[in-house]
């Protein structure tokens, strides 16, 4: 246990306030600058695992290259006695997942405002050629004033020449995984767009569009099933708002927003009166000739969190299973705080 430890003669470690399979997050106090911080500490069992250490360092490198009011700041990175740690801005609030669970149904105007902040953060990352690859409510923090911060760039990927030579492995949270990632394809900026659309769906309805008995069955739904109409749960939802979700989650990346900036602009104007009854988004008709898709076998990783909504999945492109598209699969670092004031 790290509680009450003075790390690097500077950070007084307090209670654990979050964590996942790769690392735990502690509330700490910086005795030099006299401020509270959040410290992410790599789990001890991964201290000798080069892959986990590389991912930990990659998160720090990705996040420290970004400076934006809606992205959690990284202050320091270090190692002491085989303890790898990252010092981050402390956000006094909760994850967006917790917020949805506590406040659903959320007003459409508030949901739009939250998504504008999230898209602003991801647009900034994309401008710096960084793809997040794991956008989900658990990686979005919201404070008492409704201010949003995106965090956890642990599997973010720089769009560099070296990144393009990586093997086509799937790594991400299955409920928010784009179809191309589920097939083992390279994650792109439009993969982040898809995940943003799923987050917006959940923010508006309080539920996920696809569920299943296993990570594979959920991934298949991302591949095979259209995103359900949100009006099933919100009858008076403006068509302009539903269109944002439907366009962002189009199966074909070419039918999605060209950029997160374009999606952000659509959010900015979505509640204008003249847009309330615009035509429903319909992607262009596709050739239905191909009846099967080859996708990688997807399994729950040993550093996944909950098997249902936080499942981290991974696979290798060398192992594939053939899926018949006509056959439906059977389906069925913050401290949580008091309620945020409604706007």
Residues annotated catalytic, as ranges: 134
- Are 111 and 242 in contact by the 8 Å Cβ rule? The answer is no
Tell me the C-alpha distance between 83 and 71, whole Å.
25
Residue 320 neighbours by CB under 8 Å, 6+ apart: 184, 294, 295, 296, 297
What's the farthest any 2 CA atoms get from each other in the chain? Answer: 65
Whose tokens are 């990570």? That residue is 215
Tell me the C-alpha distance between 98 and 95, whole Å.
5
Tell me the C-alpha distance between 287 and 86, whole Å.
48
Region of 129 (left: φ > 0; alpha: ψ -120 to 50; beta: rest) is left
Tell me the C-alpha distance between 188 and 294, whole Å.
19
Joined together, the tokens standing for residue 134 give 């794991």
CB-side neighbour CA atoms (13 Å) of 150? 34
Query: Which residue, among 228, 193, 217, has the nearest Cα to 295 in the 3D structure?
Result: 217
Tell me the C-alpha distance between 133 and 114, whole Å.
19
Tell me the C-alpha distance between 89 and 105, whole Å.
29
């Amino acid at each position: 246990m790290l509680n009450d430890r003075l790390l690097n003669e500077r950070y007084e470690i307090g209670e654990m306030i979050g964590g996942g399979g790769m690392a735990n997050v502690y509330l700490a106090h910086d005795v030099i600058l006299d401020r509270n911080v959040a410290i992410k500490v790599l789990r001890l069992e991964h201290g000798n695992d080069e892959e986990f250490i590389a991912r930990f360092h990659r998160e720090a490198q990705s996040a420290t290259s970004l400076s934006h009011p809606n992205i959690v700041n990284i202050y320091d990175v270090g190692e002491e006695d085989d303890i790898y740690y990252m010092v981050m801005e402390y956000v006094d609030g909760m994850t967006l997942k917790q917020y949805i669970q506590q406040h659903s149904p959320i007003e459409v105007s508030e949901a739009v405002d939250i998504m504008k902040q999230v898209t602003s953060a991801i647009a900034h990352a994309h401008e710096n050629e960084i793809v997040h690859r794991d956008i989900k409510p658990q990686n979005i923090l919201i404070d008492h004033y409704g201010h949003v911060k995106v965090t956890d760039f642990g599997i973010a990927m720089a769009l560099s020449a070296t990144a393009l030579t990586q093997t086509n492995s799937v790594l991400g949270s299955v409920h928010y995984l784009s179809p191309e990632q589920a097939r083992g394809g390279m994650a792109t900026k439009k993969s982040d767009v898809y995940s943003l659309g799923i987050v917006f769906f959940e923010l508006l309805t309080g539920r996920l569009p696809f569920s299943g008995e296993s990570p594979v069955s959920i991934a298949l739904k991302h591949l095979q099933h259209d995103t359900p109409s949100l009006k099933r749960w919100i009858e008076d939802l403006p068509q302009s708002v539903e269109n944002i979700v439907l366009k962002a989650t189009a199966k074909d990346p070419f039918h999605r927003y060209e950029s997160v900036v374009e999606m952000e602009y659509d959010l900015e104007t979505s509640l204008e009166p003249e847009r309330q009854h615009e035509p429903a988004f319909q992607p262009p008709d596709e050739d239905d000739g191909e009846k099967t898709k080859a996708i990688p076998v997807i399994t729950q990783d040993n550093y996944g969190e909950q098997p249902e909504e936080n499942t981290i999945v991974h696979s290798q492109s060398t192992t594939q299973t053939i899926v018949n598209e006509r056959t439906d699969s059977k389906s069925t670092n913050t401290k949580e705080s008091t309620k945020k004031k409604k706007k």
